[in-house]
Each structure stands twice: as structure tokens, then as C-alpha cells.
């Protein structure tokens, strides 16, 4: 897609992938941060990790099994929380532990069997060895995320304000919540190859937290968060290739640095000391 701008195919693919992943994850991040569901990033990324390990164990396509396993976990979060009358965060903790256990079990077993499995690309991402199909899939998920937010903006903003008040107002809270979980599962599973299971959390939480330092309304948060994520990711890809540094951790560190600066500069935190 950006070949007209960047001649090097590897850099081009890495940039495209980072752009789509960062836009999708940061938009979703605005919603989950406000809903206090940040741990959904952990759970989904480890579900995808477990799914990928399962795919490698079975000799199937690791990306497809990662998507399938994340979807299955997404489908469990809502009903398990409702049925067990547990806070969504507690359910996420249980499913996170289960996913991690499945992944570690399979990796250990394969090592024991001498099959050998490198988990490092799943944990830390590998932005230089992406297939074109993976980038198309990421572009599709990025579009799906934007369409979801535009189509359900009214419902999403009511849920972000207060879930109980939204439900009392007659908003279809559960339906929108379940769709949100599925889109998060899809985005995380597809981003796993790029930033890895451990760093996906940065893309989900940090841009939204940066936007939160300056934005007074939710509409501007939905614009600022992906914009920040896009600029930092693009700069991270350029710097990573220019100075031969690992791209995903570099992007994570850059975003964390921007967050630290934004907290210091945030005018929302300033206290008016004027007496008149």
C-alpha cells in the first residue's frame, strides 16, 4: 500500500502493519481504559499466544488458531461474568491464567518431545517477517474497528459514561459489549505477530492514557489516541530500521516516554492558583 513511498519492502510492510495495529488498538484502548477493563489486553494477548502455541503443536496455521482461541475467550468473558456474578476484571484474571497455562504447557511439552518451538516471536513480535495477507487482515480489522465506533458511537459513549446508567436508560449494553470483546480479540490476535503478546498492552492502553491527559471529551479522545499511536509507531519503525533497533520494544518505549511527558504537560492536572 505504501510502496509508492517506501522502496524497501520489509520496511514498507513493517510500517503498514504498525500503522494499522496502532490505530485499531488505540481506538479500542479509549473504550477499555474508560471502562476499567485494561486487563483485557493481557487476557486477549495471552489467549492469542495460547492459540498460536496450539496451532504450532497441531501443525496448523498459528495465526488462525490464535484468532480462534481469542474469539473463544472473548465469547466466554461476558457469559462467565454474568453467570458467576463476578466483576469482568476477575473473569479476565481467570481466563488469563488459563490461557497462559495452556501456552506454557504446550511449549514445555513440545520442548520435551524435542519438537522445538520458538515462542519469542509470539511474545515479543517480529515485525520484519510479515506476509502481505497479514497486513491486509490488519487493515480490515482497522476498518472494522472504525466502523464499529462510528456505527455504535451513541451506545459506546453511554457505556463509557456508566454501564448501569446506560442499561437503565434502555441502551443495549450487552450486545455492544459482546461485539467490542470480539473486535478486541480479533485485533489482538492479528497484532500478535507484530508487537507480540507482551507489548500489545502498550498499544491498547498508552495512547488512550496520553489522550486522556489533554482531552475533555470522548470524541477528541477517539481522534487524538490513534493519531498519537500512528505518529509514534511510524517514527519507531523508521528509527528501528535506521539505527538497527528492535522495532516493537522501541515503539513501546517511545509511547511510554510520550506518556510521561504528557502527564507533566497536562493542563487538565494544573491547579488554578490565581486569586482573581
Half-sphere exposure of 203 (CA within 13 A, CB side): 33
Among the listed residues 39, 99, 157, 193, the single contact to other proteins using CB under 8 A: 157
| Crossing angle for the helix pair 218-242 and 9-34, to the nearest 10 degrees | 150
CB 92 within 8 A of CB 47: no
Nearer to other proteins, 88 or 237 (CB): 88
CB 149 within 8 A of CB 187: no
Where does residue 238 rank: exposed (0-12), middle (13-18), buried (19+ CB within 10 A)?
middle
Measured distance CA(59)–CA(129) in Å, rounded: 19
Q: Which of 161, 191, 157, 150 is nearest to 23 (CA)?
A: 191
270 binds other proteins, rule: CB under 8 A:
no
Q: Which of residues 14-73 bind other proteins (CB under 8 A)?
A: 34
Q: Which of residues 190-219 bind other proteins (CB under 8 A)?
A: 212, 215-218
Q: Which of residues 66-95 bind other proteins (CB under 8 A)?
A: 85
Measured distance CA(116)–CA(106) in Å, rounded: 11
Nearer to other proteins, 124 or 214 (CB): 214
Nearest-approach distance from CB 10 to other proteins, in angstroms: 39
Binding string to other proteins for residues 159 to 178, with x set by CB under 8 A, is what?
A: -xxx-xxxxxxxxx--x---
Nearest-approach distance from CB 165 to other proteins, in angstroms: 7
Measured distance CA(179)–CA(167) in Å, rounded: 16
Nearer to other proteins, 101 or 168 (CB): 168
Binding string to other proteins for residues 89 to 128, with x set by CB under 8 A, is what?
A: ----------------------------------------
Nearer to other proteins, 32 or 188 (CB): 32
Q: Which of 94, 72, 68, 71 is nearest to 81 (CA)?
A: 94
Measured distance CA(174)–CA(152) in Å, rounded: 13
Among the listed residues 40, 102, 221, 228, the single contact to other proteins using CB under 8 A: 221
Nearer to other proteins, 164 or 274 (CB): 164
- Give the 3-state secondary structure of 239-265: HHHHCCCCHHHHHHHHHHHHHHHHHHH
Nearest-approach distance from CB 68 to other proteins, in angstroms: 28
Question: Contacts with other proteins: how many residues (CB under 8 A)?
Answer: 28
Nearer to other proteins, 115 or 268 (CB): 268
H or E element: which one contains 179? helix 173-214
Nearer to other proteins, 30 or 68 (CB): 30
Among the listed residues 10, 64, 151, 261, the single contact to other proteins using CB under 8 A: 151
Nearer to other proteins, 15 or 166 (CB): 166
Helix (H, G, I), strand (E, B) or coil at 267: coil
Residues lying near other proteins in the complex (CB under 8 A): 34, 85, 151-152, 154-155, 157-158, 160-162, 164-172, 175, 212, 215-218, 221, 268
Amino acid at each position: 500500500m505504501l510502496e509508492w513511498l517506501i522502496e524497501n519492502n520489509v520496511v514498507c510492510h513493517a510500517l503498514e502493519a504498525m500503522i494499522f495495529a496502532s490505530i485499531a488498538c488505540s481506538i479500542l484502548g479509549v473504550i477499555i481504559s474508560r471502562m476499567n477493563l485494561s486487563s483485557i489486553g493481557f487476557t486477549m494477548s495471552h489467549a492469542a499466544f495460547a492459540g498460536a502455541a496450539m496451532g504450532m503443536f497441531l501443525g496448523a496455521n498459528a495465526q488462525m488458531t490464535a484468532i480462534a482461541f481469542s474469539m473463544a475467550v472473548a465469547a466466554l468473558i461476558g457469559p462467565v461474568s454474568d453467570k458467576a456474578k463476578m466483576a469482568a476484571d476477575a473473569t479476565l484474571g481467570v481466563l488469563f491464567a488459563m490461557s497462559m497455562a495452556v501456552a506454557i504447557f504446550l511449549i514445555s511439552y513440545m520442548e520435551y518431545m524435542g519438537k522445538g518451538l520458538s515462542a519469542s516471536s509470539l511474545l515479543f513480535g517480529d515485525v520484519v517477517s510479515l506476509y502481505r495477507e497479514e497486513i491486509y487482515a490488519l487493515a480490515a480489522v482497522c476498518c472494522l474497528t472504525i466502523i464499529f465506533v462510528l456505527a455504535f458511537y451513541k451506545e459506546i459513549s453511554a457505556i463509557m459514561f456508566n454501564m448501569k446508567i446506560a442499561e437503565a436508560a434502555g441502551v443495549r449494553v450487552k450486545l455492544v459489549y459482546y461485539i467490542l470483546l470480539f473486535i478486541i480479540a480479533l485485533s489482538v490476535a492479528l497484532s500478535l505477530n507484530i508487537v507480540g503478546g507482551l507489548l500489545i498492552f502498550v498499544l491498547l492502553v498508552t495512547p488512550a492514557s496520553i489522550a486522556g491527559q489533554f482531552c475533555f471529551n470522548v470524541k477528541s479522545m477517539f481522534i487524538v489516541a490513534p493519531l498519537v499511536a500512528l505518529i509514534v509507531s511510524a517514527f519507531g519503525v523508521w528509527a528501528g530500521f535506521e539505527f538497527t533497533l528492535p522495532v516493537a520494544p522501541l515503539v513501546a518505549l517511545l509511547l511510554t516516554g510520550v506518556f510521561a511527558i504528557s502527564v507533566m504537560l497536562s493542563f487538565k492536572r494544573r491547579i488554578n492558583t490565581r486569586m482573581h
